[in-house]
Structure formats: structure tokens, C-alpha cells
């Protein structure tokens, strides 16, 4: 063979081999530079808007080479034959499911080139300046070190080439997950729970370079680089609205945004996705589709059985139907945030804020941190060391508050704002009202005493690895129980841990309530939430209304032949079915009618059954699955009830008393709430368990009272909640402030400037005591009712607790002309004797009424003696206010009732005959026949409450009520009285307040 020919042949063969190899390398490079499928937009909002060409034989190779030849960093294919170029990294929030880029490439049918408004995005391989969004980096966390037990276990993908934080975060966002985590430089994990703080490690332990970008880190050996996708991890407690027709007249019901979650969609995922994007409604359709919108739902409601497609992420849940949208309404509200002060932190192991942490080294602002904490459902924000943002559910203890000079570090993103200091938090309340993480339904921590399951005894189920408060609430809700409780308990001497969810019909008694710290066991389904403990249950309301048998029977319409068109909106099978439970479920989800069939089936709807379908009672004789003494329809007929409509009705089981008996039929009460009627007899119209100090319910009085030696402010040193107890706490001011300072009360709640501003001058000192007074004046008032207050009165010389009812209006004139009702009062002195030898110490408690003009005041009081003093413990004070009289029970012991004075008799007593007509125009209870509101407070000294010449501990009262230097003389005796003010014992404490209609 000719050597030249041979050489030429070999050269050609080698060239072909090289071309094949290079072609393979290029193909692999295109594969490795793939970024994902992204949602595109119009005009300037296009992902890649620098250059566009239509290419007949388009493919990733062709488009990438075109953009690279024009010096662009990114290439994108769309509609098969369109090629786009650009320099901006596509935002991870535009990431779509891979199935949405479904159009074959005309130049290579084995590859995909986007779709309608979907872009298959690639890197061209060029390096240069690009705009890349900042990701929310959470930190480096230790994984559990087991393939079977991962910190993030919802989704896993391996990217041996091309892995970057941006790619992994985009993938998890497109799947609807709240967190993304990278490990071993090529692994990407997704999940919904923030990793527990105890697994946080130094960033140096996440030191492996990413396979797709050597300048970035992608975890380490069993270490995870964790990012937030910004999808909220609040539990999905959106209220199910119903199954709706979609695309009526070619108009989408929810037209905000849409995402396809092909393999992961669930109601919780879709609700959280819409909530994170600030929408009011979420809707699921065709199983995989999630829609968000803000417009009110006005189209036709479809039968619920038409929304029966299983969710790809949880086949036990329903995700709409064919052109049928399962719609949820999101129920979250934000108030204006409030700055609370500078607080001292502890060490890394015992940080005050453990719920969530994120660093913003160059971009932290107060609002950014508040927004992060809000999206995660936390009440409080703490900023520290310029760039650290922390979140927590509970406010730090007042004892840890320090001077503002400790929190003067400027924020990394805005030097005009303060972001804490060294181990010091700038703390804000986020303004998050009724957060979905607890749905305003948490009741408290309760202890079991003699036997397990005694508090919520009706059902218990074990969730070994997935228990969370929300999972338990949903389980008990679906079964129709008003209460749920989570418990983590050790059994068999600690060799086994049980994670249990309990359900019940009745709220545990307050005598079982205990300190919140005893319910501190972490939930296995979310390590950041608490699920009770040994013999301790964290109890929640589920939102189910509990009817008793009598009340349910009152709404019975009869036995009707089965017709799914009547009650087709909602159906659930119950192994504990009975009429009152089915009615409770239908009430909770907003329906007007309930139907029971086949013993265990419960239906809800809004259409009344036609009389033509009425059957015979013998057709509805199947015993209920949860009560053999009641019947729940038949196999071809159902027992139908109309839910009793009660105006202004709460979804709460306590309507007829916790014993489930009493009159559940709405008997009109003499009670009025907020000036409205009717009110049903026995109904709870106000309740506060003081899990927090709700500033929408309670308003601070900010003023300097004329006759007291204390002023009232909104400072959280003087009014706060601790372990479910409201504290009203007085403190003495520094001497220089009292004798030479100024007082200018910001947000003063009265018009008189003398009660808003004051300056110390000579003997006219400032009030030496700072305290608090709160009321429901702007939120709740009532006329007649039963008021139960569980309180512990303070002890300390010259302290005066305020537990009052005060008039909402001045119908009978200003001040005491319109009266005041004193529910419980006892002077704080342990030893106090009047000049005539009468004991008026803390051993004697008064209740009664006060009325009068200016200084002409009369009262009608009943006094009760307790030798140990009324400060010894908590007591239940129950005031019964009727159109005929006022009476009080203390720990269920009745005291003498107070009858009203006739108007003309009041005039005689006051010596004001010419002014009698103001009371004469009212009822016999005047002025106590109008709306009154609740007031709680704590004062000290004053010119009215302590008679002159009385003695305490053998020591004369240091001031005279009428002298001009009264407050100065009180203050100068502080070494005597202040020594009797013991921390905690000096506070007025309120456990709970309930008001019930007569």
C-alpha cells in the first residue's frame, strides 16, 4: 500500500475520531451546563433579552454556540425553534418543573427546547460579569449521618456536574419546598422544616467546592449548606372554601400566578406557596396545578365529589379535578411592628432566639429581618451584631432588658437603623396576628396526674417520625373533635419514645394547667416546634364546634331519600359519628346543612332538601357509629339537620357549659355585648387566657392620674405576660427623675395636658411610681353578665389593685356620675389599722359599687375576711351583674348581694337633690344599667384610698390626703414602704378572664 495513501487514510481516520470525541465532549458540556426549565415573560422581563433568533434545526448545541459566539453568558431555547441570549442569571423563583419544557428540539428530537413561555436555560461556558440574585443562606448544618434518616428527606437529586447553590435552590423552589441543602459538592436535598439549631456548625465545615462553580461551596462530609427558598414553612391552615368551576367564560378563577408541582403538590404546599407570594387564595387543580389569586370567589360552587383527584405529593389528600378548583382562603393578618427594646443574649448554646437565624453581611435592615420572621410565622425579631437576624415565638424576659446604649450597632444594610450589639438584641414585635403556625388556637401546657390519656381521652394515634401540632390538629379536626394535644413520652423506663396525638371533646380543666417549660419536647416532624413531654400535653383548639344532643335535635328536618345533589359539597366517613359531631364539622367549615347516612357518613352543604324527597323515619334507623342510642340515616336515606343560626356566634364548645348539658337552644339573654343584641343565654362573650398580652384586646391607659402617686404607661416593664399569667408590676423611679426630672408621656390617652406632661419643681415632684393600667374600652364592653376572674392580689405597703368595670359612655355624666363597679380590691399592707381600730389590711377584700359627684362620693361595699391575706394564692372572683342586683362569689362561695339605691335616695345621700333627674331617667339599676368595660391596673398611695391617721406596722401614714405636699411626704417615707415590695409578690397577677351571658 502506498505510504502516502496510508498516511492520508490514517490522518482522516484520526480526524474523524477526534471529531467524534470532540462532539461527545461538547454534547456532554451542554448537558453539564444545563440550568433548568424556567418560566419566561414578555418584553424587558424576558429571562434572556439581549438577542433572539429563530433556528430551523435548533438544539442546545446550536443555540449555546450562537450565544457564545456573540459573547453572551447564557442561552435559552423556547417553542422548539427559538434561541435567546443574555447575561442575567435566571431567578430561581422562575424555575418550573422539568415536565413543562416539553417541546422536542427540531435539530435533535432526543432533547427538549422549552415550550410555550418556558425556557430551557444553559450556560455558554464564558465567564464575565453577571447579575446574580442573592440567596438566603441559613448556615452549615450537620446531617444525621444515616442514609435512612436524613435532615432533609422530601426530595434528593445528584448533580455530579453542574451543581451550584443557585441550581439546587431553584430546583427545590420549583418543587414547592421551603429549604434547599447541598452536600458532598454534588447532592441536592429539599425539605420543609428549618433545621434544628443544635445541629448548626461552623461554615468552615461546609468547605467542598461545587461541581458547577468552584468559587462556591456545596456542603461537606455529612454537612449541609442550607438555603431558604423563601416559601413559608407555616403550616397550611388555610380554610377550605370549596370546589369551584374554573375557566367560566374563559376567565380563570385565580389569576395571580400558577405553578405545576408535578410530583409534590399537596394543599399544604400550594397554600404555603401562595402565602409566601402574598396572595389571599390558593387553588389546586388536575392534581399537579397550584393557582394563587386575590379576587373574591364569585363563580358557581361545584359538588365536592368533582374535586377528587389525588395529590401527587400525598395520595391521601385531594387536589381538585378537571376544570375544578379546590380553593383555600388564607387567614393571616399583619399589624404595624413595634420596637420593644434592647435585650441581653446568652451563649450560643442557650440563645434567647432559637427559632430561626439568618445572616445578611451587607444587606440587613430592620424590615428585612421582620419580613423573614413573619414569613416563618414567628412573633418576634431580634437583630444582633449588625448583620444577624433571629426569630422567636416568645418575647424575652423583662429581666434581660438592658440600656439602649448596648444596641447601637448600625445595620449592615442601612446605617441609619440599629441592629443590636455584642450579645445584645434589638427586639421587635413583628405585628403578626393570629399566625398560622398556631392559628391562634394554642391553649397551653397541661399535666396528666393519675392515668394516661385522661385529659383528651377519646382518641390517641401515634406519629413516630412526623408528629407536629398541625398534623395533630388536622387529624382531630377530620374526626370532629374540638381539641387536640401532642405528647412525647418515654415508656418502659425510657427504652421507647412515643409520639402521640390525642383528641377530645372537652378542654382540660385549668387546674391541670402548668408551666410552658414543661411542654418542651421537640416534635419529631419539626424540631423547632414543641410537642408536650412526659405526662404533659400541649393542647390546641381544632376549630370544631361542639353541639350537645338537645341543640342538635332542635335542627332536625327529617329523613330524606338520598340525592347527592342536595348535600354534595363535603363528605367525611367517621368511626365516631353522631348528629352533634357531624353538625360541628359542618359548622366549622361554614355550611348550613348536615346529613348523616349509613351510620358513619357525614355530609355538608348549603342547599335545603326539597320536601318532595322527604321519606319515612323507619328508613333512617341505622345506629350511629359513635353512638348506638342515636340514628344516622339509612343505606338509601339520610337524616338531615339544619344548623341553628345564632347571630354573632363563636365557634366554641363552651356555649352551654363544659358539661355539655344546659340549654343549647338559643334562649335570649338580658346580656348585651358591645351594644348589640341578641345574645344567647350561657354563651361565652369574652375570654382571655393570657397566652400573650393582646394589644388588640387590651389598650394601655397612658396618663398621670390627679389623685394617685403613680403614673401609667405602656412600658413592657410594667405590664407583661409570663408563663400564661398577666403581671402588672410597679417600679420606683430614680431619685433624680422624681425630684428634678420631666415626664412627657408619648401617646398620652387623655386630653388634659396636666395628665400628659409634668416637671418636678420644689415640692411638686413627679409621681415616683411607674405602673400600668389596661382596659377593653375600645374592644369589648357589655351590659349585665357573669364575669369570672382568676387573680392573685399584690402585697406591699400602699399598693392598690384595680379590677374594675367602668362605664363605656357618660350617659349619666362624667366621672363617677356614671358609676364604677369594683370586682375585687384589698389594700396591699399586711398590717393597716385605722384611727378607730378597724383593720383595712390585705386580709380584708371589698367588692361593690361607687357613684357620686366630684368629691361627693358614696359606695356600697361588701367585705370578706381571709386571715392568711388575699395575696396568699390565686382565687376565682365571679361577679354576677343582673338587672336586679350585683353579687360576688369567691372560690364559689357567695357573698351578700348589693341592691341598687333609688335615685331619690342617692340624692339624699349626696346632698344634690337638684341633680337627681340624671339617675331618675334610668332603670332601678341606674347608673349600672349601661355598657361597662374591663379595667385592670395597679396604683400606689393617693389621696382617696387610705384614710388619714391610719397606721401600718405601728408607723403613721406619712401623708395627709388634703395637704399639698402629700406625694412628697409619701416619697420621702420610701425607705419604710419600698422594703415591703417584694419582687413578684408585689405584682397584680391575672390567670384568665371570662364573661358569660346571663
Residues across the chain: 998
State the pLDDT at residue 648. Answer: 35
Residue 650 half-sphere exposure, CB side, CA atoms within 13 Å? 18
- Cα–Cα distance measured from residue 651 to residue 544, given in angstroms and rounded to the nearest whole number: 7
| Cα angle, residue 836 at apex, residues 832 and 840 outer, rounded to 5° | 30
Task: Give the number of other CB atoms < 10 A from CB of residue 274.
Answer: 29
Average pLDDT over residues 216-239: 77
**Arithmetic mean of pLDDT, 18-35:** 48
Examine the pLDDT at 652 and tell me if it is beyond 60.
no
Residue showing cell 395597679? 938
Q: Write out pLDDT tens, residues 899-929.
A: 766 655 656 555 555 555 677 778 888 889 9
Contact 536, 447 (CB under 8 A): yes
Quote the pLDDT of residue 39. Answer: 84
**What is the per-residue pLDDT for 434?**
45
Q: Tell me the per-residue pLDDT of 700-715, one tens digit each, with 9 for 90 and over.
A: 999 998 888 999 999 9
pLDDT of residue 335: 64
Count CB atoms within 10 A of the CB of residue 873. Answer: 10
Yes or no: say if 785 and 996 are a contact pair by the CB < 8 Å rule: yes
List, in order, residues 6 or more apart from 805 with CB less than 8 Å away.
Answer: 787, 820, 821, 823, 879, 881, 932, 933, 934, 935
Residue pLDDT, tens place only, 548-560: 777 777 789 999 9
User: If you average pLDDT over residues 644-670, what whole number do you get?
Assistant: 44
pLDDT at 238: 60
pLDDT (mean) for 491-509:
73
Per residue in 333-347, pLDDT (tens digit) is 556 788 999 999 876
Task: Give me the pLDDT at residue 650, please.
Answer: 33
Beta-bridged to residue 932, according to DSSP, are 782, 807
Alpha-carbon distance of 574 to 760, in angstroms, equals 71
Instruction: Give the per-residue pLDDT at 130.
Output: 65
With a cut of 60, say whether residue 444 has pLDDT above it: yes
| Residue 243, pLDDT score | 85
> Which residues make Cβ contacts (< 8 Å) with residue 721, sequence separation at least 6?
690, 691, 692, 693, 727
Task: Determine the pLDDT at residue 383.
Answer: 96
Distances in whole angstroms, Cα of residue 139 to Cα of each of 142, 151, 196, 222, 345: 10, 14, 11, 14, 20
Model pTM score: 0.43
pLDDT for position 915? 58
Res. 15 pLDDT band, cuts 50 70 90: very low
What percentage of the chain carries pLDDT values higher than 90? 37
Q: Residue by residue, what is the 3-state secondary structure of 756-806?
A: CEEECECCECCCCEEECEEECCCCCCEECEEEEEEEECCCCCCEEEEEEEE
User: Whole-angstrom Cα distance, residue 789 to residue 881?
Assistant: 14
Is 681 a residue whose pLDDT tops 90?
no
Instruction: Taking residues 604-611, report their average pLDDT.
Output: 82
Query: Rounded to the nearest 5 degrees, what angle is found at the Cα of 29, between the Cα atoms of 46 and 99?
Result: 50
Q: For residue 35, what is its C-alpha cell?
A: 440550568
Please write down the HEC assignment for all residues of 307-354. Answer: CCCEECCEEEEECCECCEEEEEECCCEECCCEEEEEEECCCHHHCCCC
Which three three-digit cell numbers place residue 565?
Answer: 345533589
Please report the pLDDT score of residue 837 as a whole number.
Answer: 93
Q: Which has more pLDDT, 794 or 564?
A: 794
* DSSP per-residue letters across 14-55: HHHHHHHHHHHHHHHHHHHTEEEEEE--SGGGSSS-SEEEE-
Task: Tell me the pLDDT tens digit for each residue of 27-81.
Answer: 344 555 888 898 887 666 688 888 999 999 999 999 999 999 999 999 999 999 9
CA–CA gap between residue 536 and residue 518 (Å, rounded): 7
pLDDT of residue 952: 95
Can you give the pLDDT at residue 6? Answer: 42
Torsion of CA 974, 979, 983, 988, to 10 degrees: -60
Distance, in Å, from the CA atom of 757 to the CA atom of 704, rounded to the nearest integer, reads: 8
Q: Band of the pLDDT at 319, cuts 50, 70, 90?
A: very high
Least confident of 217-221, 270-274, 534-538, 938-942: 270-274
Q: Per-residue pLDDT averaged across 505-531, rounded?
A: 81
Kind of pairing, strands 536-541 and 875-881?
unpaired
Q: Kind and range of the H or E element at 889?
A: strand 886-890
What cell numbers appear for 943 in the block?
389621696
- Which of these, 857, 860, 827, lies nearest to 845 by C-alpha position? 827
Q: For residue 726, what are the β-bridge partners?
A: 721, 990
Q: Nearest Cα to 711, choosing from 933, 940, 964?
A: 940
Confidence of residue 819 (pLDDT cuts 50, 70, 90): confident
Mean pLDDT computed over 308-313: 87
Taking every pair of Cα atoms in the chain, the longest distance, rounded to a whole number of angstroms, is 143
Residue 902 grid coordinates: 333609688
Residue 494 pLDDT > 80: no
The pLDDT score that the predictor gives to residue 158 is 76
Q: Which three cell numbers stand for residue 75?
A: 442561552
Strand ranges in 100-238 using DSSP code E only, listed in sequence order = 104-105, 108-112, 118-123, 136-142, 155-158, 179-183, 187-191, 200-201, 223-228
* Structure-model confidence comparison of residues 349 and 172, the more confident one: 172
pLDDT score of 612: 86
Distance (Å, rounded) from C-alpha 341 to C-alpha 339? 6
Closest Cα partner for 458 from 489, 438, 472, 479? 479
Query: Can you name the residues that pair with 372 across neighbouring β-strands?
Result: none
Rounded Cα gap, residues 314 and 236, in angstroms: 14
- Nearest Cα neighbor of 48 from 114, 109, 111, 97 is 114
Mean pLDDT of 791-810: 93
Looking at residues 844-872, what average pLDDT do you find? 84
Question: Is residue 802 a contact partner of residue 773, using CB atoms and an 8 Å limit?
Answer: yes
Instruction: Report which of 502, 566, 565, 552 is spatially closest to residue 531, judged by C-alpha positions.
Output: 502
Highest mean pLDDT among 381-395, 457-471, 524-538, 676-690: 381-395
Cβ atoms of 391 and 372 within 8 Å: the answer is yes
Q: Per residue in 967-985, is it b (16+ CB within 10 Å) or e — as a string?
A: bbbbbebbeebbebbeeee
Overall average pLDDT of the 496-507 stretch: 84
Instruction: Indicate whether 622 pLDDT > 70.
Output: yes
What are the helix and strand counts (H, E) for the chain? 13, 69
| Residue 863 pLDDT > 50 | yes
CB atoms near residue 509 (< 10 Å)? 10
Do the beta carbons of residue 111 and residue 98 sit within 8 Å?
Answer: no
Question: Average pLDDT of the chain?
Answer: 82
**Grid coordinates standing for 487?**
405528647
d(CA 789, CA 805) in angstroms, rounded, equals 12
Question: pLDDT value at position 645?
Answer: 53
Return d(Cα 733, Cα 770) in angstroms, integer.
7
Calpha distance 596→284 (Å, rounded): 28
| H/E segment holding residue 571 | strand 570-573
CA 580 vs CA 240, 555, 659, 684: distances in Å: 21, 10, 14, 19
pLDDT of residue 471: 78
CA–CA gap between residue 282 and residue 265 (Å, rounded)? 12
**Higher per-residue confidence, 194 vs 519:** 519
- Section 242-259 average pLDDT: 84
Is residue 656 over pLDDT 70? no
What value does the mean pLDDT take over residues 789-796? 95
Amino acid at each position: 500500500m502506498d505510504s502516502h495513501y496510508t498516511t492520508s487514510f490514517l490522518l482522516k481516520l484520526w480526524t474523524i475520531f477526534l471529531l467524534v470525541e470532540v462532539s461527545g465532549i461538547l454534547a456532554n458540556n451542554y448537558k453539564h451546563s444545563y440550568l433548568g426549565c424556567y418560566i419566561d415573560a414578555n418584553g424587558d422581563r424576558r429571562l434572556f433579552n439581549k438577542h433572539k433568533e429563530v433556528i430551523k434545526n435548533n438544539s442546545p448545541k446550536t443555540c449555546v454556540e450562537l450565544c457564545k459566539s456573540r459573547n453572551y453568558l447564557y442561552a435559552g431555547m423556547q417553542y422548539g425553534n427559538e434561541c435567546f441570549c443574555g447575561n442575567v442569571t435566571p431567578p430561581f423563583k422562575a424555575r418550573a418543573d422539568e415536565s413543562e419544557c416539553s417541546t422536542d428540539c427540531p435539530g435533535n428530537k432526543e432533547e427538549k427546547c422549552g415550550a410555550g413561555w418556558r425556557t430551557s436555560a444553559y450556560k455558554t461556558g464564558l465567564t464575565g460579569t453577571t447579575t446574580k440574585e442573592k440567596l438566603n443562606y441559613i448556615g452549615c448544618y450537620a446531617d444525621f449521618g444515616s442514609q435512612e434518616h436524613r435532615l432533609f428527606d422530601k426530595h434528593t437529586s445528584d448533580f455530579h456536574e453542574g451543581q451550584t447553590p443557585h441550581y439546587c435552590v431553584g430546583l427545590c423552589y420549583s418543587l414547592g419546598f421551603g429549604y434547599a441543602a447541598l452536600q458532598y459538592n454534588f447532592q441536592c436535598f429539599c425539605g420543609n422544616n428549618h433545621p434544628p439549631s443544635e445541629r448548626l456548625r461552623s461554615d468552615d465545615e461546609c468547605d467542598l467546592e461545587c461541581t458547577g462553580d468552584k468559587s462556591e461551596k456545596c456542603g461537606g462530609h455529612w454537612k449541609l449548606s442550607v438555603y431558604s427558598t423563601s416559601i413559608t414553612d407555616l403550616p397550611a391552615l388555610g380554610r377550605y372554601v370549596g370546589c369551584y368551576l374554573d375557566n367560566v367564560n374563559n376567565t380563570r378563577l385565580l389569576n395571580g400566578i400558577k405553578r405545576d408541582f408535578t410530583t409534590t403538590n399537596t394543599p399544604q404546599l400550594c397554600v404555603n406557596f401562595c402565602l409566601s407570594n402574598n396572595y389571599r387564595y390558593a387553588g389546586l387543580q388536575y392534581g399537579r396545578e397550584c393557582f394563587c389569586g386575590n379576587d373574591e370567589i364569585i363563580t358557581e360552587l361545584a359538588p365536592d365529589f368533582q374535586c377528587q383527584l389525588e395529590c401527587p405529593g400525598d395520595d391521601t389528600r385531594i387536589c381538585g379535578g378537571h376544570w375544578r378548583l379546590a380553593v383555600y382562603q388564607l387567614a393571616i393578618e399583619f399589624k404595624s411592628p413595634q420596637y420593644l427594646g434592647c435585650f441581653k443574649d446568652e451563649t450560643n448554646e442557650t440563645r434567647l432566639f432559637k427559632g430561626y437565624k439568618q445572616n445578611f453581611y451587607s444587606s440587613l435592615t430592620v424590615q428585612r429581618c421582620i419580613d423573614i420572621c413573619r414569613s416563618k410565622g414567628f412573633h418576634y425579631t431580634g437583630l444582633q451584631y449588625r448583620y444577624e437576624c433571629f426569630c422567636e415565638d416568645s418575647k424575652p424576659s423583662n429581666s434581660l432588658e438592658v440600656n439602649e446604649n448596648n444596641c447601637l450597632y448600625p445595620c449592615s444594610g442601612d446605617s441609619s437603623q440599629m441592629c443590636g450589639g455584642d450579645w445584645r438584641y434589638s427586639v421587635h414585635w413583628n405585628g403578626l396576628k393570629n399566625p398560622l403556625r398556631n392559628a391562634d388556637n394554642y391553649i397551653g401546657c397541661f399535666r396528666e396526674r393519675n392515668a394516661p390519656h385522661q385529659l383528651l381521652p377519646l382518641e390517641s394515634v401515634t406519629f413516630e417520625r412526623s408528629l407536629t401540632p398541625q398534623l395533630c390538629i388536622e387529624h382531630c379536626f377530620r374526626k370532629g373533635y374540638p381539641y387536640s394535644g401532642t405528647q412525647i413520652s418515654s415508656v418502659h423506663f425510657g427504652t421507647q419514645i412515643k409520639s402521640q396525638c390525642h383528641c377530645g371533646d372537652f378542654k382540660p380543666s385549668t387546674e391541670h394547667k402548668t408551666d410552658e417549660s414543661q411542654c418542651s419536647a421537640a416534635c419529631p416532624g419539626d424540631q423547632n416546634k414543641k410537642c408536650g413531654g412526659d405526662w404533659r400535653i400541649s393542647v390546641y383548639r381544632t376549630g370544631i364546634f361542639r353541639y350537645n344532643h338537645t341543640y342538635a335535635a332542635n335542627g332536625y328536618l327529617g329523613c330524606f331519600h338520598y340525592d347527592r345533589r342536595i348535600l354534595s359539597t363535603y363528605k367525611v366517613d367517621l368511626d365516631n359519628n353522631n348528629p352533634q359531631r357531624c353538625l360541628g364539622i359542618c359548622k366549622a367549615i361554614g355550611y348550613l346543612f348536615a346529613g348523616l347516612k349509613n351510620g358513619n357518613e357525614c355530609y355538608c352543604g348549603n342547599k335545603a332538601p326539597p320536601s318532595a324527597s322527604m321519606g319515612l323515619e323507619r328508613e333512617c334507623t341505622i345506629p350511629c357509629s359513635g353512638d348506638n342510642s342515636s340514628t344516622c340515616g339509612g343505606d338509601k336515606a339520610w337524616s338531615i339537620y339544619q344548623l341553628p343560626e345564632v347571630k354573632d356566634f363563636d365557634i366554641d364548645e363552651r356555649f352551654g357549659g363544659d358539661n355539655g348539658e344546659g340549654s343549647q337552644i338559643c334562649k335570649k339573654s338580658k346580656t348585651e355585648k358591645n351594644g348589640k343584641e341578641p345574645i344567647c343565654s350561657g354563651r361565652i362573650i369574652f375570654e382571655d387566657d393570657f397566652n400573650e398580652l393582646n394589644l388588640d384586646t387590651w389598650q394601655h391607659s397612658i396618663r398621670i392620674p390627679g389623685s394617685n402617686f403613680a403614673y401609667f404607661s405602656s412600658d413592657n416593664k410594667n405590664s407583661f405576660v409570663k408563663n400564661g399569667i398577666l403581671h402588672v408590676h410597679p417600679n420606683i423611679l430614680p431619685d433624680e427623675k422624681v425630684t428634678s426630672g420631666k415626664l412627657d408621656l408619648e401617646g398620652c390617652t387623655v386630653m388634659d395636658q396636666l395628665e400628659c406632661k409634668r416637671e418636678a419643681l420644689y415640692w411638686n415632684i413627679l409621681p415616683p411610681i411607674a405602673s400600668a393600667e389596661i382596659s377593653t374600652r375600645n374592644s369589648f364592653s357589655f351590659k349585665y353578665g357573669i364575669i369570672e376572674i382568676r387573680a392573685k392580689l399584690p402585697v406591699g405597703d400602699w399598693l392598690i389593685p384595680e379590677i374594675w368595670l367602668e362605664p363605656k359612655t357618660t350617659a349619666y355624666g362624667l366621672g363617677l356620675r356614671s358609676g364604677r363597679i369594683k370586682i375585687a380590691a384589698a389594700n396591699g399592707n399586711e398590717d393597716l389599722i385605722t384611727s378607730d381600730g378597724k383593720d383595712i389590711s390585705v386580709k380584708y377584700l371589698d367588692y361593690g359599687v361607687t357613684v357620686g359627684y366630684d368629691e361627693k362620693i358614696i359606695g356600697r361595699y361588701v367585705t370578706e375576711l381571709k386571715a392568711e391575706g388575699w395575696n396568699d394564692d390565686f382565687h376565682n372572683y365571679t361577679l354576677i351583674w343582673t338587672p336586679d342586683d350585683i353579687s360576688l362569689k369567691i372560690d364559689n362561695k357567695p357573698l351578700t348581694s348589693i341592691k341598687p339605691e333609688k335615685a331619690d335616695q342617692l340624692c339624699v345621700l349626696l346632698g344634690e337633690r337638684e341633680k337627681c333627674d340624671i339617675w331618675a331617667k334610668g332603670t332601678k339599676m341606674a347608673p349600672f344599667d349601661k355598657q361597662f368595660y374591663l379595667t385592670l391596673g395597679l396604683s400606689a398611695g393617693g389621696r382617696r384610698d387610705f384614710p388619714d391617721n391610719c397606721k401600718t406596722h405601728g408607723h403613721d401614714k406619712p401623708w395627709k390626703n388634703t395637704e399639698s405636699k402629700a406625694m412628697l411626704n409619701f416619697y420621702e417615707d420610701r425607705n419604710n414602704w419600698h422594703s415591703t415590695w417584694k419582687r413578684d409578690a408585689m405584682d397584680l397577677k391575672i390567670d384568665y378572664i371570662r364573661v358569660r351571658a346571663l
